[in-house]
């Protein structure tokens, strides 16, 4: 590990030196590439430099302790030595986490698809609430949210909704939301006051950049244009602006109607189709590596029940990591960072233990 860290430190110093050269600053493509590499290396290098400093502090304290006769000073040096040793252990663990292989999709924007499952209108109402939860969360992080398609029901629910979240590292965080979300509560439509259980599914897919080779043959696609339906507002429902794509080989059908322009809706529909095809490819890869899929929290089985929202008890339980929080109202208002942080920590712990087993 430390040989690799020394190599990364040397590479970081090379990049910093190269970035100061006029020939690089005048070459924008090279400059951007180096800046990206420098940004990726910086957290590792800064942590490693801090680690080396603490190691040096330990050596200095040991030398001083060996030479010091004053008991009060010796006690102070022993305290400093204990603090430095604890810091070294923490920093070593942090370095192991920083050196874990990165998911190549982590920095990407995401496309999120929420679908109402079992529970009829109640499931559709819950789907709309989860959609709003993610919108609030994204806005809190200053990320941009853009709706691609929504199929609403008259009482404020959503049978399904697809939307993009654009922001640095969106996939690295949002991927932990994929799976089945379950709600337990007394529906407003229920006169008997009985608790119902409903479900929705959430799929989080990385937005597919041009650098990813997803080929969509013209002969494999049917494009239908139609008038938008639902609460479109001015102009949207009066022209044939909505676009539906049918992908014959997979049977995937996507629909976009939120823009006034057919061209914009077509672009959104193709972006969603590319994301779905890439996601299908990723899922097949995970299925082929069953053990890996079971060990990962963020990109596991889409049919897995991951979380329960129990309204009578005001609690949220994430079943993957056995975490229960009694702050349902805050969670539904977008305060989900604590859950995501716990998922990230659990995922890192699993991957570290796998790495240690392999080592």
Which pLDDT band, with edges at 50, 70 and 90, does 307 fall under?
very high
Statement to judge: residues 14 and 163 lie in one domain: no
Average pLDDT, the chain: 85
Q: Single out the residue in 98, 126, 143 at which a domain terminates.
A: 98
* Weakest mean pLDDT among 137-151, 211-225, 227-241, 303-317: 227-241
pLDDT of residue 31: 85
pLDDT for 300 beyond 60 = no
Statement to judge: residues 14 and 162 lie in one domain: no
Which residue matches tokens 């337990």?
184
Statement to judge: residues 57 and 93 lie in one domain: yes
pLDDT for 290 beyond 60 = no
Statement to judge: residues 119 and 242 lie in one domain: yes
pLDDT of residue 138: 96
Which pLDDT band, with edges at 50, 70 and 90, does 156 fall under?
confident
Q: Is 108 exposed, middle or buried (0-12, 13-18, 19+ CB in 10 A)?
A: buried
User: Looking at the domain assignment, is residue 15 inside a domain?
Assistant: yes
The residues, ordered by sequence, that sit 6+ positions from 237 with a Cβ below 8 Å of its Cβ are 227, 228, 229
Query: What is the number of domains present in the chain?
Result: 2
Statement to judge: residues 190 and 255 lie in one domain: yes
Average pLDDT over residues 343-349: 90
24 against 64, higher pLDDT:
64
Q: Which two tokens stand for residue 286?
A: 């995970």
Statement to judge: residues 172 and 304 lie in one domain: yes
User: Looking at the domain assignment, is residue 92 inside a domain?
Assistant: yes
Q: Single out the residue in 98, 127, 146 at which a domain terminates.
A: 98
Statement to judge: residues 178 and 315 lie in one domain: yes
pLDDT of residue 132: 96
Torsion of Cα atoms, 129 then 127 then 179 then 306, to 10°: 50
The CATH number of the domain holding residue 74 is: 1.20.58
Q: Is 29 exposed, middle or buried (0-12, 13-18, 19+ CB in 10 A)?
A: exposed
**Residue 345 is part of which domain span?**
110-349
* Weakest mean pLDDT among 73-87, 182-196, 232-246: 232-246
Q: Single out the residue in 41, 65, 98 at which a domain terminates.
A: 98
User: Looking at the domain assignment, is residue 244 inside a domain?
Assistant: yes
Alpha helices in 289-327 (DSSP H): 290-295
pLDDT for 235 beyond 50 = no
The CATH number of the domain holding residue 312 is: 3.30.70.1660
User: Looking at the domain assignment, is residue 103 inside a domain?
Assistant: no
Statement to judge: residues 167 and 301 lie in one domain: yes
User: Looking at the domain assignment, is residue 354 inside a domain?
Assistant: no
Percent of the chain with pLDDT over 70: 89
User: Looking at the domain assignment, is residue 200 inside a domain?
Assistant: yes
Statement to judge: residues 263 and 316 lie in one domain: yes
User: Looking at the domain assignment, is residue 358 inside a domain?
Assistant: no
Average pLDDT over residues 103-126: 90
pLDDT of residue 260: 77
Statement to judge: residues 91 and 121 lie in one domain: no
User: Looking at the domain assignment, is residue 144 inside a domain?
Assistant: yes
The residues, ordered by sequence, that sit 6+ positions from 97 with a Cβ below 8 Å of its Cβ are 348, 352
pLDDT for 189 beyond 70 = no
pLDDT for 250 beyond 80 = yes
Statement to judge: residues 50 and 143 lie in one domain: no
Statement to judge: residues 68 and 141 lie in one domain: no
pLDDT of residue 236: 43
Which pLDDT band, with edges at 50, 70 and 90, does 233 fall under?
very low
- The model carries a pTM of 0.74
């Amino acid at each position: 590990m430390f040989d690799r860290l020394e190599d990364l430190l040397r590479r970081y110093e090379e990049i910093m030196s190269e970035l100061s050269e006029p020939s690089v600053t005048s070459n924008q493509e090279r400059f951007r590439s180096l800046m990206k590499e420098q940004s990726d290396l910086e957290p590792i290098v800064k942590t490693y430099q801090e680690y080396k400093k603490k190691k040096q502090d330990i050596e200095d304290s040991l030398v001083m302790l060996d030479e010091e006769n004053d008991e009060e000073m010796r006690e102070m040096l022993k305290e400093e030595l204990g603090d430095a040793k604890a810091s070294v252990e923490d920093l070593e663990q942090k370095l192991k986490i920083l050196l874990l292989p990165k998911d190549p999709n982590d920095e990407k924007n995401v496309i999120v698809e929420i679908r109402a499952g079992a529970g009829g209108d109640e499931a559709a109402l819950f789907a709309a609430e989860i959609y709003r939860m993610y919108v609030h969360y994204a806005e809190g992080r200053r990320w941009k949210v853009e709706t691609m398609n929504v199929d609403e029901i008259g009482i404020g629910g959503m049978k399904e909704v697809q939307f993009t979240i654009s922001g640095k590292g969106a996939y690295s965080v949002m991927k932990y939301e994929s799976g089945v979300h379950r709600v337990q509560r007394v529906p407003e439509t229920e006169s008997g006051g009985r608790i119902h259980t409903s479900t929705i599914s959430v799929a989080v897919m990385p937005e597919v950049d041009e650098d990813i080779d997803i080929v969509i043959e013209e002969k494999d696609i049917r494009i239908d244009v139609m008038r938008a339906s639902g609460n479109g507002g001015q102009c949207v429902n009066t022209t044939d602006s909505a676009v539906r794509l049918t992908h014959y080989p997979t049977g995937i059908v996507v629909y976009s109607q939120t823009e006034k322009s057919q061209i914009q809706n077509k672009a959104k529909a193709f972006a969603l189709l590319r994301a779905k095809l890439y996601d299908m490819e990723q899922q097949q890869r995970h299925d082929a590596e069953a053990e890996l899929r079971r060990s990962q929290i963020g990109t596991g089985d889409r049919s897995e029940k991951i979380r329960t929202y129990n309204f009578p008890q005001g609690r949220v339980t994430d079943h993957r990591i056995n975490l229960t929080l009694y702050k349902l109202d805050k969670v539904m208002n977008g305060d989900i960072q604590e859950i995501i942080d716990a998922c990230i920590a659990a995922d890192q712990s699993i991957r570290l233990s796998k790495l240690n087993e392999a080592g």
